[in-house]
Amino acid sequence: MSNVDKSRKGEFGALVRDLAREKGLVVLYISHDEWELFLTADRLAITEDGQMLQVGHYQEISGAPVSGKVAAIGRLSGCRR
């Protein structure tokens, strides 16, 4: 969604999320935009240099980050779901 207007990203992300839920699909959504991921994903996998740092729901990751790196990502997002 790099070419989608920022004001429409949340709208489009919600559409993808809702469609996946409705159809029972698993969607792998990869982005460097933490805000976009926190708004769109049901579950997140935070990775760095090919290593999985933490997997879980937004509330789990933001509420109990396993490392300073993961905590920094949560703070950068500025997202509240």
Q: Give the DSSP per-residue string, 7-51.
A: HHHHHHHHHHHHHHHHHT-------S-HHHHHHH-SEEEEEETTE
Q: What is the distance between the alpha carbons of residues 59 and 65, in angstroms, rounded to a whole number? A: 10
From first to last of its 81 residues, the chain has per-residue pLDDT tens of: 778 887 788 788 888 889 999 999 988 888 877 777 777 788 888 888 889 999 998 888 888 999 888 888 766 555 554
Domain ranges (residues) in the chain:
6-77
pLDDT in the model for residue 77: 54
Residue with tokens 């935009």, as numbered in its chain:
33
CB 53 within 8 A of CB 47: yes
pLDDT in the model for residue 25: 92
